Structures are given as structure tokens and as C-alpha cells.
Amino acid sequence: MMGNAYIVLGNGFSIDLVQKMGKNEEIDLVNLFSKGEHVLYPKTNNRGFLSRKYTPDLWNLGARTYMSYDTAIQLVTDVITCANVYNLSIEKRPDEERDSSNIYIHAYSELSSYLRYLFIYYDSLLSDDDLNKIINKIELIDYIKNCLSKQKKGVYYYLQL
């Protein structure tokens, strides 16, 4: 019986994988807003998830498909940071009523949902054949297989990339 293996692969691995498949024009894992007009909004199945209609608070904060990487990453960072600070401040004052009017809190909720459906959209652009064509060209896959084959019961590998 094999033990558990915990492997955490970062976005760099995903970016490299997409490039090796030749899909980096279709799948942008660097600027998360650049393909927002292609993402389906789940309730209507219409394209354009990143829009004034479906993500009004992100839109009001400036999220656009044409924004630069630097601007996009700064917006994502700002939204996540504000939501984290807000949640930490509420934990310190549990008896206070939550103020849900903050645009960043709404934008965080929209961002979470948008990213989920962005990656569902990206997944729809890939096939098993795409992966099978490049799987033998990825040295990390061989390394992981080698680690797993040498794994003993009760021994855990933690690989973070």
C-alpha cells in the first residue's frame, strides 16, 4: 500500500504546460482578465462574464479585458487584500454587524465566481489529446512518477513548485 503524496504545483507549471501545448494565445494564465469576454455566465450561458452586467463591482474598479498585466494583477491584489483585511477586522469584533456595502467585498465575491468559470472555460479548450502529445516532454512528470514509485508506506513527499 502506498502512502499519500502531496504535490503542489504553482502557476508557473501551468503556464509552461499551456505553452508546450501551443495554447498560450487562447489560454492566458498571466492576465486573468484578458479572456473575460469569452467566459460564460452560468445563469444565462451567455459570453461576457467580465462585464458591467455580470461583475458590476469589478467593472467599477476597472476590470477590463484590455487592461495590462500589471494593472490586472494590482486590481486582483487590491481586491483580495481588502477582503482579507475586512474579514480579519470582523473576526476581532464578532458582535458587530457586518457591513456588506463595501465595493471590494462585492468585487471579491465576483472575482471568486469569475475565476471559477474562467478556469472551467480554459478547461473546455483542452483535450486529453493535447496533454497526451506533450506528457513525455515534461521532465517534472517523470520526476513525480519516480518519487511515487519509490515511495514507501508512511513516507510523504511535499513538492512545491
Beta bridge partners of 6: 158
Does residue 1 surpass a pLDDT of 50?
A: no
Rounded Cα distance between 157 and 54, Å, is: 42
Q: CA-CA distances (angstroms) from residue 94 to 49, 97, 102, 109, 159?
A: 34, 8, 18, 21, 37
Same domain, 36 and 74: yes
Q: Domain span at residue 65? A: 28-124
Domain count across the chain: 2
Higher pLDDT, 30 or 150: 30
Same domain, 96 and 68: yes
Does residue 11 surpass a pLDDT of 90?
A: no
Same domain, 117 and 135: no
pLDDT digits (tens, 9 = 90+) for 71-83: 999 999 999 999 8
Same domain, 135 and 98: no
Same domain, 33 and 108: yes
pLDDT digits (tens, 9 = 90+) for 82-108: 988 888 877 666 666 666 678 999 999
Residue 117: per-residue pLDDT: 97
Same domain, 83 and 143: no
Same domain, 20 and 38: no
